Amino acid sequence: MQEFFCPDPAALHVRLRPDSLACTDLASDRRWNYRELDADIQRAVALLHHEGIGKGDRIAVLARNSVYQIILQQALMRLGAIFVPLNWRLSQQELALLLEDCTPAILYTDDEIPPLPPGCRSYSFSSFASEMSAFDPAPRCPLRSGCDTCIILYTSGTSGVPKGALITARFLLATAINFNVLGEVDTGCIFLCDTPMFHVIGIVAQIWPPLLRGGTFIVSPGFDAEKTNDRLGNPDFGVTHYFCVPQMAEALRQTPNFAPERWTKLKALFTGGAPNPAAHIRWWLDRGVRVVDGYGMTETGTTLGMPLSRDLLRSKAGAAGVPGPLTAVRLVDEDDRDVTDGTPGEILVFGPNVIGGYWNRPEERERSFTEDGWIRTGDVGRRDEDGYITIVDRRKDMFISGGENVYPVEVEAALSEHPGVREVAVVGIPDERWGEVGRAYVVAAPGQDLDSDQLAHHCQSLIARYKVPKEFRFVDELPRTGSGKVIKHILRKEALEECRSKPGSDFRR
């Protein structure tokens, strides 16, 4: 098989457009053209070589977003070493477990230093830029294999235990191509990047598409709804693409300075990481903003996407779209047989945008992939007659009530149609009569006074009675991962503990 060499967009655009703006770091107020970016990457290569870093070594980073994280990642890729961005929201104990798992040679951080594994030294990340600038750009490295691991990206842990997904340069290139085609990305694109760089959206989907096209990425240290609103409307920035999770999109519209009419250059606001309810998509369209939902995961990058057609976005609201050009998708039943259109099935994905496995977990590779190399996503989708796929739910989140399958995402979508509901999460809980029933955790919109009967009646007009939650819990917020996903296993654990504590309870699950 012919070798696939590591793509290097920064080196390419040094030749194609050396004076074009490559990126801006808002925290340091610094800008790089492609000539300057490539030179700083080579200075980082020299620094890392001085530190004894070579092929296969891991470098962990515990820091807020910055262009310097991208410079470090690109330099490590040129060396054949591995970049490991860590979630700074985790506890010291959780971080210590991840560091013990990936055993890095260096941890760069300005936060409190967690317990380090043997052989790992810690440096200040804020000093990385000044130390790098003291070196001359290193000579060009030999070409590296694009099939070697260049990033270890720990999953967000909605199931409780993060795993280190092995990201290759081939994965990065395929994800960029998929998104560039689906998202209509061109050389004049300008991406605003404030999704955390320990997330696949942050380190891949919002960086590699503009980098591959020779466009511009603007990096903020983190998401702030009011600041992001201003930046999207800033004519000096001219943002064309913005990528976020649905929770961030909802936060944008709740701020006092929300003024989407000022987002004159924005092609679309792209959401991923969790399904975006149809009601929310239509709300944005009514205000002149194309909100384009898609589907991907840490293990598959950009997988499905919607077109930017306003008519299709409205008529297909709630769908995650069609596969990108470098991706194949199947929907299968429990026996791995392809299901017909309109029938829910587990999503299987195949292509160069799929990881090769998990760090230190060969058994996860066997569990997560079919024998012929398709990854089992654990997500359930339904394809319509036009080929558009809607995410029905996580397979493990489905519950059975009275012998009928209930997909919480479908129930959440119905509840989201109610104007008084800001956020909602539905889980299955034990029930003596029906086996399982739904419990909805509801965050009310500001100024709204909701009650269970009102929401149950609303649901009955949209979904079958057996899908309507039996219980409603009104909460101030939902538990979420660092990337914004609802942590449903916490809600399920709480519900099960309540059931077990009831007098005379028979539940032992």
Question: Tokens 């996903």 identify what position?
Answer: 485
CA gap 444, 225 in Å, rounded: 19
Q: H or E segment at 229?
A: helix 225-232
Residue 462 is predicted with a pLDDT of 86
Q: Are residues 46 and 121 in the same domain?
A: yes
Give the residue with greater pLDDT, 251 vs 117: 117
Q: Are residues 402 and 327 in the same domain?
A: no
Chain centroid to CA 428: how far?
Answer: 25
The last residue of one of the domains, among 390, 417, 434, is: 390
Residue 502 is predicted with a pLDDT of 67
Q: Are residues 376 and 405 in the same domain?
A: no
CA gap 242, 221 in Å, rounded: 15
509 inside domain: no
Q: Are residues 217 and 110 in the same domain?
A: yes
Q: Are residues 418 and 375 in the same domain?
A: no
Residue 171 vs residues 25, 84, 86: alpha-carbon distances, Å? 25, 16, 19
Residue 508 is predicted with a pLDDT of 38
Residue 482 is predicted with a pLDDT of 65
Which of 377-381, 407-411, 505-509 ranks highest by mean pLDDT?
377-381
CA gap 38, 34 in Å, rounded: 6
508 inside domain: no
CA gap 196, 65 in Å, rounded: 6
Q: For a pLDDT cut of 70, what percent of the chain falls above it?
A: 96
CA gap 232, 264 in Å, rounded: 9
The last residue of one of the domains, among 390, 411, 431, is: 390
* Mean predicted confidence (pLDDT) in 449-476: 91
Domain that holds residue 441: 398-501
CATH code of residue 405: 3.30.300.30
Q: Are residues 248 and 340 in the same domain?
A: yes
Neighbours of 383 (CB within 10 A): 22
Q: H or E segment at 425?
A: strand 421-431
**Would you place residue 427 in the very low, low, confident or very high pLDDT band (cuts 50, 70, 90)?**
very high
**Would you place residue 483 in the very low, low, confident or very high pLDDT band (cuts 50, 70, 90)?**
low
* Mean predicted confidence (pLDDT) in 271-292: 91
Q: Are residues 296 and 320 in the same domain?
A: yes
Q: Are residues 146 and 287 in the same domain?
A: yes
The last residue of one of the domains, among 363, 390, 417, is: 390
Indicate whether 157 pLDDT > 60: no
DSSP three-state, residue 159 = coil
Indicate whether 31 pLDDT > 50: yes
Instruction: Give the DSSP letter of residue 41.
Output: H
Q: H or E segment at 417?
A: none
429 inside domain: yes
- List the structure tokens of 151: 């990033």
* Residues facing 423 on adjacent strands: 443
**Would you place residue 3 in the very low, low, confident or very high pLDDT band (cuts 50, 70, 90)?**
low
Q: Are residues 429 and 380 in the same domain?
A: no
Contacts of 472 by beta carbon, 8 Å cutoff, 6+ apart: 439, 440, 442, 452, 455, 456
CA gap 61, 69 in Å, rounded: 8
How confident is the model over 68-124, as pLDDT tens digits? Answer: 999 999 999 999 999 999 988 887 888 999 999 999 999 999 999 999 999 999 999
Strands 121-123 and 106-109, sheet pairing = parallel
How confident is the model over 283-315, as pLDDT tens digits? Answer: 999 999 999 999 998 999 999 999 999 999 999
CA gap 389, 303 in Å, rounded: 11
Indicate whether 274 pLDDT > 80: no
DSSP three-state, residue 192 = strand
353 inside domain: yes
Sign of CA dihedral 25, 294, 187, 213: positive
Residue 503 is predicted with a pLDDT of 60
* Mean predicted confidence (pLDDT) in 190-195: 96
**Would you place residue 4 in the very low, low, confident or very high pLDDT band (cuts 50, 70, 90)?**
confident
pTM: 0.83
* Mean predicted confidence (pLDDT) in 370-399: 90
Q: What are phi and psi of 381, to 5 degrees?
A: -125, 165
**Would you place residue 6 in the very low, low, confident or very high pLDDT band (cuts 50, 70, 90)?**
confident
Contacts of 44 by beta carbon, 8 Å cutoff, 6+ apart: 71, 72, 74, 75, 128, 132
* Residues facing 375 on adjacent strands: 349, 369
Longest dimension (CA), the chain: 74
Q: Are residues 85 and 170 in the same domain?
A: yes
* DSSP output for 267-329: -EEEE-SS---HHHHHHHHHTT--EEEEEEETTTEEEEE--S-HHHHHHTTT--BEE-TT-EE
Q: To the nearest whole number, what is the mean pLDDT of the chain?
A: 91
Sheet of strand 149-154: strand arrangement: 121-123, 106-109, 58-62, 82-85, 149-154, 164-168
CA gap 168, 329 in Å, rounded: 20
Q: Are residues 328 and 477 in the same domain?
A: no
16 inside domain: yes
Number of independent structural domains in the chain: 2
457 inside domain: yes
Indicate whether 145 pLDDT > 80: yes
Indicate whether 67 pLDDT > 90: yes
CATH code of residue 258: 3.40.50.12780
75 inside domain: yes
126 inside domain: yes
Indicate whether 507 pLDDT > 50: no
Indicate whether 246 pLDDT > 70: yes
Q: Are residues 358 and 418 in the same domain?
A: no
